[in-house]
Amino acid sequence: MQYFTQAFSAKQPYPDKYDMLMDIATEEFSHLEIVGATIQMLLKGVNGELKRAADSSEIMQVLEGKAAMEDIIHSALTANPQFPVITGGGPTLRNSQGIPWCASYIHSNGDLTVDLRSNLASESRAKLVYEHLMKFTTDPYVKDTLSFLMTREIAHYKMFEAALETIQPNFPPGVLQSDPRFTQQYFNLSTPTSSRGPWNQGNMPKMDKEWEYISDPAAYVKTTSGLSAEDVNLNTEIEDANALSIQLGEIRSLEVKSSEPEGAATWSDYNTGLTSI
């Protein structure tokens, strides 16, 4: 649903990304079908037991000794009264803690560079969940299913990664540039143990700047009057950043406006039968 929602704001000026997002969204809907069908197969028999609830004191009895894994799964599920009462033994759109799915899970910001980065994170989490789930089953068919779904998350990750690289510039997200006065500082707030690495020393990734390591943040704040002291050496950089923000804003606006179709907006082209939202 996230990719489906993002696609609409990407249609203009990125019709190629719209196509990609719709394709991946459609495939993800098929994954939902796969997951639902798999859950239903694993719950085989539970629905039938519910139908005979009037003639049985319990929906499922745990066998003494070493019970089959299917029986354990059934017993665990039916221990939750909401499962048989509300779902009737079918799969539901809830997380592992029983919280129902809702639209707040969707991240769609209207800026494709932001949305694609959100998707990279989503695919990463999904891949890891499938990886963990594979540790909890010995069923070879379930493992094959989970392996397929996990692998497709990796494929989607690479698709989003490649799409992001085609949008230049794509950093920082949006159009406003960072303020040169506050971009380079790394505040060491973990004394006495401090680590150094490419995140706080040397060149900043993809930026023509070097990190400024602040070893004593308290003293630095006092010296700079709470980071408000003016640095005349940065005036030119500040002016350049403001000019670039205005220029990039005009470019992005023109991209959207120039891609809008002429005439009345329609959701379908009746001459070709192709959608044209």
Q: What is the pLDDT of residues 115-127, one digit of tens each?
A: 999 999 999 999 9
User: Residue 275: what pLDDT?
Assistant: 55
Tell me the per-residue pLDDT of 139-149, one tens digit each, with 9 for 90 and over: 899 999 999 99
Predicted confidence (pLDDT) at residue 76 exceeds the cutoff of 70: no
Number of residues assigned to the chain: 277
Find, among 216, 188, 211, 189, the residue nearest to 200 by Cα. Answer: 211
Interval 248-273: pLDDT, tens: 999 989 888 888 777 776 766 666 55
Would you say the C-alpha torsion 51, 56, 58, 61 has a positive or negative sign? negative
Chain Cα centroid distance, residue 32: 16
Instruction: State the pLDDT at residue 71.
Output: 63
Superfamily of domain 2-165: Ferritin, core subunit, four-helix bundle (1.20.1260.10)
Say whether pTM exceeds 0.85: no
Q: What are phi and psi of 133, to 5 degrees?
A: -60, -35
pLDDT class for 55, splitting at 50, 70, 90?
very low
Which amino acid would we find at residue 110? G
The share of the chain scoring above pLDDT 90, in percent, equals 54
Q: Looking at the predicted structure, is the pLDDT value of residue 56 above 70?
A: no
* Kind and range of the H or E run holding 212: strand 212-214
Q: Which has more confidence, 77 or 261?
A: 261
Omega within 30 of 0 (cis) for the link into 15: no
* pLDDT mean across residues, the chain: 83
Q: Is 149 exposed, middle or buried (CB count within 10 Å of its CB: 0-12, 13-18, 19+)? A: buried
Measured from the Cβ of residue 260, the count of other Cβ atoms closer than 10 Å reads 10
Q: Which amino acid is at 260?
A: E
Higher per-residue confidence, 184 vs 74: 184
Which element (helix H / strand E) includes 187?
A: strand 185-187
Q: Which residues have CB under 8 Å from 123's CB, separation 6+?
A: 153, 154, 156, 157, 160
Cis peptide before 180 (omega within 30 of 0): no
The token pair that represents 29 in the structure block: 């809907």
- Judged by DSSP in three states, 100 sits in strand
Tens digits of per-residue pLDDT, 34-53?
998 888 888 776 555 544 54
> Highest mean pLDDT range out of 50-59, 97-106, 141-150, 224-233?
141-150
Task: Give how far the C-alpha of residue 265 lies from the chain's centroid of Cα atoms, to the nearest Å.
Answer: 31
Strand partners, 185: 212
